[in-house]
Amino acid sequence: MAKRGLGKDDLDFSKLEPGLSPEGEIEGGGAGEGGGGIFGSLKPKVQQLFNRILSIIKLILGLCLLAFVYTGSVGFLQELKNADRRLQDDFWSGIITFVVIYLFFWEPMKVYQKGQKILAVLFKFFSPLVKFAPYVLPIYTILIFAFYPLAHHFYKNPLILEYFIFFGGLSIALHLVMTAKTLKSKPGDFLKANYIFGFSLVFILNLLLIAICFQLLLDKFSFFNFFQGAYNESQRIWHSVFKQIFIPGPTR
């Protein structure tokens, strides 16, 4: 019988080297492939470190924005005091009404989500706005105040403004509370940085929007005075912070 030489198919390289396949190839891919090598194991760690650094930056920015949340709220409340007392009561009654409904009767998350879907449809032509607009823009508040001129044109009763201010307060409370709940419940939020930064920004932008609407609807409310008061208070706070951190006090 003639002897046959060893061919490639007669060798099982896996028996010679555990890291090789029967054909002599490296199992699991080399260092340059996505699944193996030292770089493949380092990539998730680098990504995690980057996300942590980004979260810390967001947290710092969010804490800075909290100062503007405070000063904006103070400026808004000071300017709101100049409006008609009945309209002030209507605005706060709308907010309190929502809080009572939310705490004791019903959580209107589905109503909030339907508003988000409306904004997603309106801004579908620009994907970044689809992602952020539902959180930033209070769609029901915008629709309520946008509808007021038409309602006032057909109904001259002065009480119509009180109804719109009431529902404006209720709708802005709905938007802020539901947005805060949504942002807070997102998983993987290191140090709650996205929540602190995101909701602070949403609150400030919504405060500006309400101030603009009140400028148009209320005779004695001034957006300029509100903005100037908030700016002056912010300047005072940051001046005090800068002085405490960078300017040493007198030594004894």
Q: Is residue 33 part of a domain?
A: no
Which pTM does this prediction carry? 0.76
Residue 24 DSSP label: S
CA-only gyration radius of the chain, Å? 30
**Percentage of residues in the chain having pLDDT higher than 70:** 81
pLDDT, residue 38, reads: 61
Q: Read off φ and ψ for residue 222, nearest 5 degrees.
A: -120, 120
pLDDT, residue 53, reads: 83
Q: Which residues span the domain enclosing 132?
A: 66-226
pLDDT, residue 40, reads: 61
pLDDT, residue 232, reads: 87
Across 22-26, 160-164, 220-224, 242-246, least confident range: 22-26
Mean pLDDT of 146-157: 87
Where is pLDDT greater, at 107 or 241? 107
Q: Is residue 135 part of a domain?
A: yes
Cα-Cα end-to-end distance for the chain: 108
pLDDT, residue 211, reads: 94
CA dist., res. 27 & res. 18, Å (int): 9
Averaged pLDDT of the chain: 81
Across 91-100, 118-127, 173-182, 224-233, least confident range: 118-127
pLDDT, residue 9, reads: 52
Q: How confident is the model at residue 78 (pLDDT cuts 50, 70, 90)?
A: very high
Q: Is residue 8 part of a domain?
A: no
Q: Is residue 116 part of a domain?
A: yes
CB 227 within 8 A of CB 221: no
50's tokens: 């980057």
Q: Is residue 148 part of a domain?
A: yes
**Percentage of residues in the chain having pLDDT higher than 90:** 39
> Total structural domains in the chain?
1
* Residue 193 clears pLDDT 60, i.e. is over it: yes
Q: Is residue 82 part of a domain?
A: yes
* Residue 5 clears pLDDT 70, i.e. is over it: no
Q: Is residue 142 part of a domain?
A: yes
83-116 exposure pattern, b = at least 16 Cβ within 10 A, e = fewer: beeebbebbeebbeebeeebeeeeebeeebeebb
